[in-house]
A = this chain, B = another copy of it.
Amino acid sequence: MARWQGNTRERLERAALELFREQGYDRTTVAQIAQHAGLTERSFYRWFTDKREVLFAGDELQACLEAGIAKVPAETGALATLMAAFTAVPEVLRPREVLIELRAVIAANPPLRERSLIKEAMLSEVTAAALRRRGHDEQTARLATALGMAILASATRRWVLGEEADFATLLAGSAADLLAVAADLPPVHTETGRAPRK
């Protein structure tokens, strides 16, 4: 409940979500959202480029992860770097009831779902690039990103579903679940038997 809640912005976001729920996303206009929030269209466009961006607001998560990654000491393992960066995510998480509505609007609208998938993929690309800049090889950067994003998505989902735990605990629980799932893979004892890297 911090940074993102510029009061104007939050009002616009909540007004938009209310209208999306009541009359549908497609039938809602920017003018209606602004009016419903008691604000002008001009203030809407100060915060969002269009009504879709209310749902995918800004790049706080991306900025949060990039800043978080930059703070981790050099020589930290790739996945450990991401796990450390994830601890700052609660600062940019919307309130639970906003997230629930936001996810419901996206889930009900195929173009919005596609947009959401693309945003996620872009976030993964930016994250993998940040790891590469820290000296991790391509393969490590990609695999750590895949694992990290799976853990983050799981923790966020649990949080949205209402689990009563702080975000760090949810992250740790999801990491433990991921390791339990990964225990299916044959253990690696030595470097032999691995495919050569390119």
Closest to A78 in B: B181
Residue of B nearest to A117 (CB): B121
Interface membership of A198, Cβ < 8 A? yes
The copy count of this chain in the complex is 2
Near B by CB (< 8 A), chain A positions 119-149 give: 120-121, 139-140, 142-144, 146-147, 149
- CB of B184 within 8 A of CB of A188, answer no
Evaluate contact between A195 and B170: CB separation under 8 angstroms: yes
A176 touches B (CB below 8 Å)? yes
Contact B195 A172 (CB under 8 A): yes
B residues within 8 A CB of A183? 77
Q: Chain A interface secondary structure, helix, strand, loop or mixed?
A: helix
Does A80 make an interface contact (CB < 8 A)?
A: yes
- State whether the Cβ of A46 lies closer than 8 Å to any Cβ in chain B: no
Interface 9-mer from A2-10, A26-34, A61-69, A161-169 = A161-169
Contact of A78 among B79, B158, B173, B184 (CB under 8 A): B184
Query: Judging by beta carbons under 8 Å apart, are A186 and B196 in contact?
Result: no
Interface string of A170-193 (1 = CB under 8 A from B): 101111111111111111100001
A195 contact from B142, B163, B195, Cβ within 8 A: B163
**Any B CB within 8 A of the CB of A154:** yes
Shortest C-beta distance, A163 to chain B (Å), equals: 6
In the complex, which residues of chain B have a beta carbon less than 8 angstroms from the beta carbon of A146? 146-147, 149-150, 153
Question: Is A55 on the interface with B (CB-CB < 8 A)?
Answer: no
Q: Which residues of A contact B (CB under 8 A)?
A: 77-80, 83, 114, 117-118, 120-121, 139-140, 142-144, 146-147, 149-150, 153-154, 158, 161-163, 165, 169-170, 172-188, 193-196, 198
